[in-house]
A and B are shown apart, each in its own frame.
Chain A
Amino acid sequence: MSDGANASEAALAVVVAKDSKIESISKRELVDVYMGRFDVLESGQVVQPVDYENGSVFRGLFYRTLVNKNERQINAYWSRLIFSGRAKPPLQVSSPEQSLAYLRRNQSALAYMPVERVSEEMKIVLILE
């Protein structure tokens, strides 16, 4: 897990597809999107967040950085909402490759990954440090 240790120190980049209409996103908007409050940005663009599976290396870092909660707390949060059906948790993938694949297919998709994994096909909309 040496790269995990690196990842915890590294900055995370919030990315969209290269040709997505989303140009930037505020941290507040990012929270509302990932915590299921909104699926439309203030600019009016629909957004589809992509998350990693439970126990993934970046996921803990992401939520710690974003809302200062650990994964278990995030899971508990979603378990409260899951039965009402009003808010849905983000789509979960197992790796940055899969999230990239999803970005390629979906213009409104939004994902996060370590900065060094960002490729030319992606556009960084926010850096989390």
Chain B
Amino acid sequence: MNKRPFTQKLNVRVAIIVAVIGVMLSLSGSVLVFRLALDKQETISYRLVDQLAASAVKTAAIAAYVDDEELANEIINGLMISDMVSGARIYAGQTVLAANISNPDQLPVVSPIERELYHPFNEDELIGELDLYPDTAFIREMALQEAQGSAIQIILVSFLITIIIAGTLQYTLSMPLIKLKQAFETVDPSNPENLQKLDIDYKRQDELGYLIEQINGLIRAVRANFLAERKLRLHTEKLEQQLRLLFEKASIGVALISTQKGILIENPKFNHIVGTNSSLTDFIEIFDDPESVSSVIASLKASLNSKPIGLDLSYQVDGSRRWVHCLFATVSDQRLVAREEDDVLFEVIVNDITDRKEREAEVRYQAQHDALTGLYNRLGGEKRLQYLLNESSADFSCIFLLVDLDKFKPINDTYGHDAGDVVLVECSHRIKTLFNESTDVCCRWGGDEFVIGFKREALPYSSLNTLCNTLLHSLEEPIEVSPDFRVSISASIGVAQIDEAGKSVEHWIAIADKAMYDVKSQGRANYLIT
């Protein structure tokens, strides 16, 4: 509470103003009343003197008529009884019949009240005059007293009214206002929670009552607002905490990326999976297939309403390949950041799928490979051969070999399946050693039957013969079943040269198969190129 100057207080100011107005009013009022009373009193006095003269006129006329000095003196003495009369004179014709002047010095300045005296029985005949001198000093003195009394009355009445007005103002306005101010000083806006409504016990329904009501409404609103705000804030804080927890502890990586500004926010898991990348380019470049990522981002940029795009991506970390599933989706919340025209916000959800990918690869491998020999099985082989066919062109010679081991069943029957398996594994190894190009397809077609598909650039017929011979000889090398036991085996090979586009794998296999059977029927251990 700061102390203000005394005159700054409203009630003091009001009282001073009322007092000043009251004093001014009473002074000007008393001056006015004094003047008016003075004039009025003098007028009344002069009229009274005039009336006095009028009342004596008739008798004075008779006195003048009969020239009765005695009667005239009597009249004049009667008139002189009045305090307001200082002198009187009765003329009969031009001569003074009787006179009484108390203060002759005064006469020249005072004009008398003159009344003409007429003949009592003939009103047209002027027979004399009655002169009456008003006592001006006395009249003025009396008027002054009267006026002073009136002025004092006015001052007293004004003083009383001023005090009553000041008191009424103090009681009806200043006191409630001061109370309101004091009540208002207890209001602490910095502590809205404990805001209480003002109560100064003011019951009247006037402007002040309305003001208090409005202030209380305001206080209520502020308090309600504050409480609602705080509740909302607590709720928001809790929500934020939960969201943060969710974000920070998520088992998947999440990042918000701007095409202009790079990575805006990412969670620890994101960093854990793909490392810390300062820019979008860095992020794209870590993958083995950055072109796919760039094209996905470009398509997101092209259409804001595009659906989320999922990509399985691989990258290298510490010399091993890791797989992640990345889900790219545009974020269209405009409120998040004010962005430039061509800036697009998108979120990336990264999930480490290396284990799954490896398992899948394992399963796929197992599905397409023969467990014993490690070559493609028939299913995997067919698929690979189809690829080979699809990729064949005039620049390449594409060849299918169908290899069938001769007399394999007796080995199985004689030395057991383990021995048979050893033979199959060794043969497979020898085939694989010969056909070790990346495009070469070696598969165990079934039992003791193998299919080899390959393509070579400009492979002359002689070279193909050499190749087939080499394969035959390789397979005919004795095979060590156990340290002290070896077996020898031969093979019949049907060769199909793919010289026609559009035919199926089965077609060419059937051709090779037929050639192989021809070899079998002609004594085995040979090849036939068709």
Q: Which residues of B contact A43 (CB under 8 A)?
A: none
Q: Which residues of A contact B65 (CB under 8 A)?
A: 35, 37
Interface string of B151-176 (1 = CB under 8 A from A): 00000000000000000000000000
Measured CB to CB, the nearest residue on chain A to B70 is: A84
B69 A69 Cβ-Cβ under 8 A? no
Shortest distance in angstroms between A39's beta carbon and chain B's nearest beta carbon? 11
Task: Answer whether A86 and B67 are a contact pair too, CB < 8 Å, given A77-B62, A80-B62, A81-B62.
Answer: yes
B25 at the interface (CB under 8 A from A): no
B74 at the interface (CB under 8 A from A): yes
Q: Which of B15-73 contact A (CB under 8 A)?
A: 59, 62, 65-71
Interface string of B61-98 (1 = CB under 8 A from A): 01001111111001000000000000000000000000
Q: Which of A73-110 contact B (CB under 8 A)?
A: 77, 80-81, 84-87
Q: Which of A66, A69, A81 touches B71 (beta carbons < 8 Å)? A: A81
B121 at the interface (CB under 8 A from A): yes
A77 B120 Cβ-Cβ under 8 A? yes
Q: Which of B59, B67, B121 touches A80 (beta carbons < 8 Å)? A: B59
- Give Cα distance in the complex from A69 to B120, angstroms: 11
- Give Cα distance in the complex from A85 to B63, angstroms: 12
B120 A84 Cβ-Cβ under 8 A? no
Interface string of B402-429 (1 = CB under 8 A from A): 0000000000000000000000000000
Shortest distance in angstroms between B500's beta carbon and chain A's nearest beta carbon? 180
Shortest distance in angstroms between A72's beta carbon and chain B's nearest beta carbon? 15
Q: Which residues of B contact A28 (CB under 8 A)?
A: 122
B121 A86 Cβ-Cβ under 8 A? no
Shortest distance in angstroms between A66's beta carbon and chain B's nearest beta carbon? 8
A84 B68 Cβ-Cβ under 8 A? yes
Interface string of B117-147 (1 = CB under 8 A from A): 0001110000000000000000000000000
A85 B70 Cβ-Cβ under 8 A? yes
Q: Which of A49-67 contact B (CB under 8 A)?
A: 66-67
Q: Which residues of B contact A36 (CB under 8 A)?
A: 66
Q: Which residues of A contact B71 (CB under 8 A)?
A: 80-81, 84, 86
Q: Which residues of A contact B62 (CB under 8 A)?
A: 77, 80-81
Q: Which residues of A contact B59 (CB under 8 A)?
A: 80
Q: How many A-B residue pairs have CB under 8 A?
A: 37
A40 at the interface (CB under 8 A from B): no
Measured CB to CB, the nearest residue on chain A to B66 is: A87
B70 A37 Cβ-Cβ under 8 A? no
Q: Which of A15-41 contact B (CB under 8 A)?
A: 28, 31, 35-37
Q: Which residues of B contact A69 (CB under 8 A)?
A: 121
B121 A31 Cβ-Cβ under 8 A? yes
B120 A86 Cβ-Cβ under 8 A? no
B121 A81 Cβ-Cβ under 8 A? no
Q: Which residues of A contact B121 (CB under 8 A)?
A: 31, 35, 66-69
- Give Cα distance in the complex from A64 to B70, angstroms: 29
- Give Cα distance in the complex from A56 to B279, angstroms: 156
- Give Cα distance in the complex from A47 to B380, angstroms: 193
- Give Cα distance in the complex from A66 to B120, angstroms: 13
- Give Cα distance in the complex from A77 to B71, angstroms: 12
Measured CB to CB, the nearest residue on chain A to B59 is: A80
Shortest distance in angstroms between A79's beta carbon and chain B's nearest beta carbon? 11
Measured CB to CB, the nearest residue on chain A to B121 is: A67
Task: Answer whether A37 and B67 are a contact pair too, CB < 8 Å, given A77-B62, A77-B120, A80-B62.
Answer: yes
Q: Which residues of B contact A86 (CB under 8 A)?
A: 66-71
- Give Cα distance in the complex from A101 to B66, angstroms: 29
Q: Which residues of A contact B69 (CB under 8 A)?
A: 86
Q: Which residues of B contact A81 (CB under 8 A)?
A: 62, 66, 68, 71
Shortest distance in angstroms between A4's beta carbon and chain B's nearest beta carbon? 25
Shortest distance in angstroms between B175's beta carbon and chain A's nearest beta carbon? 75
Q: Which residues of B contact A67 (CB under 8 A)?
A: 121
Task: Answer whether A87 and B68 are a contact pair too, CB < 8 Å, given A77-B62, A81-B62.
Answer: yes
- Give Cα distance in the complex from A54 to B102, angstroms: 43
Measured CB to CB, the nearest residue on chain A to B62 is: A80
- Give Cα distance in the complex from A67 to B119, angstroms: 11
- Give Cα distance in the complex from A69 to B65, angstroms: 17
Q: Which residues of A contact B74 (CB under 8 A)?
A: 84
Measured CB to CB, the nearest residue on chain A to B72 is: A84
Shortest distance in angstroms between B187's beta carbon and chain A's nearest beta carbon? 94
Measured CB to CB, the nearest residue on chain B to A28 is: B122
Shortest distance in angstroms between B90's beta carbon and chain A's nearest beta carbon? 13
Q: Which residues of B contact A85 (CB under 8 A)?
A: 70
- Give Cα distance in the complex from A36 to B67, angstroms: 10
Shortest distance in angstroms between A100's beta carbon and chain B's nearest beta carbon? 27
- Give Cα distance in the complex from A85 to B122, angstroms: 23
B interface, CB within 8 angstroms of A: 59, 62, 65-71, 74, 120-122
A interface, CB within 8 angstroms of B: 28, 31, 35-37, 66-69, 77, 80-81, 84-87
Beyond A35-B120, A69-B121, 9 extra complex contacts between A and B, CB < 8 Å: A28-B122, A31-B121, A37-B65, A77-B62, A80-B59, A84-B70, A85-B70, A86-B66, A86-B68
19 A-B pairs with C-beta separation under 8 A: A31-B121, A31-B122, A35-B65, A35-B120, A35-B121, A66-B121, A67-B121, A77-B62, A81-B66, A81-B68, A81-B71, A84-B68, A84-B71, A85-B70, A86-B67, A86-B68, A86-B69, A86-B70, A87-B66
Q: Closest 8 A-B residue pairs measured CB to CB? A: A84-B70, A67-B121, A86-B68, A87-B66, A84-B71, A84-B68, A37-B66, A31-B121
